[in-house]
Structure formats: structure tokens, C-alpha cells
Amino acid sequence: MKKTFCITLALLFTLALSACDKTPDVSGTPIVSVSDLENHKEQNHSSFTFDATLFSGKLQSCAYAGNGGLLVLADRLYLYDTAAASVLAVTEAPPMYDFEVQPTNDGYILTGLGDDGAMAYIYDSSLSLKREIAVNELLREDFVASETGGVAATTDGKKLAIAAMGGLYLYDLESENLTTLLDVSQNAETDGIGVSMLNGAAFAGDNNHILFYGRGESIPATDGEDSFCIYGSINMDGGNLKLTKLSDYDIEEMQSSADRLFFPQVFTQNNGKLLWLNRATGITDTLSFSDGDEGRDGVYSSAQGNYVATAVLNNNLTVRIYDVASGELLATEVIENADPTYFYRIPRIYLLDETRTAVVVLGGSISEIDTLVSTLSF
């Protein structure tokens, strides 16, 4: 089934924030009771509705909020329950281009790049903003370059992992202590591989070690060899560093789901395959798409990591959805519109595992057109 909505266009007004770590005076507005918010976190969602008319302004993007919920960025930031088809809470929109969400015991941690570089926003369950952290100011002589994946949070909301150009860092939100786990300038190496740059990080296991990816080089250096993609892991105390060199695979980004990490390829070198890693075991595998060019216009993992969608842009959008474990192609959907502008930029696609439903957002980053939202089942 597919439903299509047009959302009224409006300019997003962003809130300028500059302090490194402060408590703001802008609070979230719960639309339902606190008990209902807690019930949402405990429910098993078996139904799905995406009612785009509930969000004012231009819908730009969403992020998984756990238990069938989405955080929706429009004129403000909305916590939306897809089972009840209702907005649970709303607050001022953070000035971020793109963001990821880590649901915690007490609320949500949003991370990503914004007007002030890499940022982390800490909200309670009613979207009251409790704390904001300008990550690059914490690092002082280093900085995060990745739009997403450069900052990750533990599931208990107590620590941040920061993958920066010059190293990997662990920040304790309670003690405000910053620990350097890997320093590229200090020969971070093992098994003949040296780390030259970090691009993304995620916590794994029981928040007891960090997975990361970036660039590496052979130690000792090999004549004529360029740097190459690597992924690896390290304990929270900086021990047990493991590195893996990737041959003929260049990672564009790291996508985090509850059970898996996904590493889409750089679009110029895409060969129709997707590398993924089991967060619990560290075992890697590859998902093969139907077409050798597939994945160049976007790869999107589901909230739990059971499904992956691809986008193929021409004068329309073709969405294909795969089961990760079996590799089976589950659904193919073609979305068309008379205005070709919708297909000038890659879409955003969100997959809800429990209801096997996808939300496709077109035009969210193009100010000249209304956002087009489609939903489909698979």
C-alpha cells in the first residue's frame, strides 16, 4: 500500500547555539502525559500510520526513536508514534543538517553536524532539552568531519564516542572527562596496519567496546600504495585494538542499527554490494543487490537492521527492499511525480522492522518544492 502527501512549504527557522556545554532554557512540550510517554517506550508496535499533516512547516528528515517511534524534523522537532498516529512531544528544532538518534533509558541523544560543527543534544522523554555539547570545542585541536556517525552514544546515555580526523575519543557525560583512545599521530597501529583517519564510531556489545571505520596505511609503508579503508574495534580502556584492511571496497558512511552496522560504498566505486557487521559478534557479511549499479543513489538500513532499502533515481524513483539475513528481494516500488525536481537529489528512506513499513521522503532538502512523503508495506 502506498499513500502520498504534500506538505506545505515553509522556511526552517534554526536556533543559533554557540556554547560548548550548557543547559538551555527552551523546554520541550509533551502532547500526552508522562505515563503515556513511558508506555510508548514499552509497547510492541504492530500497526503503522504516518500522518504528515501533523507536522507544520517543511518536513526535512526523520530518525528512528525506538519502539516504532520517529523523531521528525520540520519547523520543530516532533516525537511521533507510528502506531497511535500521534505526536507525543514537540520542541525547538536543533540547527542540524542531518542527525542520528540514540534512545536512552531517560530520553534521546541526537548527534550530527550543524551550524556549529559536530553537536550532541540530550533530551528527556518529553523532548525537554537538558544539555547541548559542541563536540569540536571539546576536542580543541581536532575535529569531526563526518555528517553522521562521527559521534555515537551508549544506550544508557552516559558516554559518547567521537571519531575525529586525528583520533578516537571517549567522553564521559557525568564526569565530563575526555579520554583519547586512539591518536593517529602516535602510531595507532596493530598487525601491520596503521590508522590514518577516523570517520565513524558506534558502541557494541554491552557498551564495553567501540567499533569504528576510517582510513589506514601499511606499516611499514609500501612503495606506491595509497591509503585504504579500514574498520576495527577497541575496548573502552583503549586496549585490544583490532584492525581490518578492506580491499576493493571504499566506505562512504557507517549506518547504525540496533543489531548491525552497515557500510555503504562510495557511489563512484559502487559494485552492487553492501558490507555489514554484526554488532554482537563482530562477524561481517555482504548483501548483494539485484543490479550491479544499485546503491549509488542511496542505501538505507532499518531501525533494527533486519532490512535494507536502495534508491535508484532516473525520471522517477525505484525503491527496492531486501531482507538482510537471506538476501531476498522483498519489494520493488516505483514513485513518480510530474515535477522532475524531486528526483534531482537522493531521497531519505526509513524502514520500521515490526510493521515492515517504509517511509520515503523526497524533496526534504530542496527549499523550492513541497516535501513529498510516501509510505509502502513490504
- Assess contact for 323 and 307: CB atoms under 8 A: yes
**Quick one: pLDDT at residue 284?**
95
For 122-125, which contacts have Cβ atoms below 8 Å and span 24 or more sequence positions?
122/157, 122/173, 123/28, 123/91, 124/28, 125/34, 125/37, 125/38, 125/41, 125/89
* CA nearest neighbour of 178 among 137, 144, 132: 137
Q: How far is CA 184 from the centre of its chain?
A: 25
**DSSP code, position 136:** H
- Assess contact for 214 and 196: CB atoms under 8 A: yes
Task: Report the DSSP pairing between strands 255-256 and 151-153.
Answer: unpaired
**Quick one: pLDDT at residue 35?**
55
**Quick one: pLDDT at residue 3?**
44
**Quick one: pLDDT at residue 41?**
57
- Assess contact for 120 and 135: CB atoms under 8 A: yes
**Quick one: pLDDT at residue 270?**
87
Cell of 331: 519489494
| DSSP E strand boundaries for 165-289 | 167-172, 177-183, 189-190, 193-204, 209-218, 228-235, 242-245, 255-256, 260-263, 273-278, 284-288
369: CB partners within 8 A, 6+ apart: 9, 339, 341, 342, 363
The domain locations on the chain are 1-16+25-128, 287-378
Cell of 289: 543487490
Q: List, run by run, the mean pLDDT of 10-residue segments along the chain (378 residues).
A: 40 33 52 60 73 95 95 97 97 90 96 90 97 94 91 96 97 97 91 95 92 95 91 95 94 95 92 94 95 93 98 97 98 98 97 97 96 97
**DSSP code, position 251:** B
Q: Where are the alpha helices (DSSP H) in the chain?
A: 34-42, 135-139
Cα–Cα distances (Å) from 138 to 100, 115, 131, 148, 157, in that order, read: 20, 16, 14, 18, 18
- Assess contact for 227 and 214: CB atoms under 8 A: no
pTM attached to this predicted model: 0.88
Q: How far is CA 255 from the centre of its chain?
A: 5
375: CB partners within 8 A, 6+ apart: 1, 2, 3, 48, 50, 357, 358, 359, 360
**Quick one: pLDDT at residue 17?**
31
Cell of 129: 532539552
